Structure 1
């Protein structure tokens, strides 16, 4: 198993609804494998509906 970086490179969301009325819920983090051929996904919740969407992580300024 690849060693995870301190912060994930991407974030996992469950999206329900469409367009402007879509509701995004963050449910986990995503780390790339060292060989660049896959990802580890850690979910903090298991969705029962909606779409699982992976997006690049945006750095936030504290």
Structure 2
């Protein structure tokens, strides 16, 4: 899916817990125009099955 709109959410796979957690960005999500759902575009799938959706950080912020 190619779009010029910024994503509503960013998808990450997270391994570990707390301070030792390692976050890897794996995709993005865009809200439907009717507000009833999201399109999720993933570049990878986690082997642990854990996907976390977060609001994107403003450009220029460190990840």
Gaps of 5+ in 2: none
Give the ranges of 4+ consecutive aligned residues of structure 1 lying more than 3 Å apart after TM superposition: none
Please give the alpha-carbon distance, in whole angstroms, between the structure 1 residues aligned to 2:25 and 2:11. 6
* Pair 1:22-2:21 in alignment: yes
Q: Which residue of 2 aligns with 1:33?
A: 32
> Which runs of no fewer than 5 residues in structure 1 stay unpaired?
none
Q: Using a 3 Å threshold, how does the CA distance of structure 1 residues 21 and 50 change in structure 2: closer, same or farther?
A: farther
TM-score (norm 1): 0.82
**Counterpart residue number, 2:9:** 10
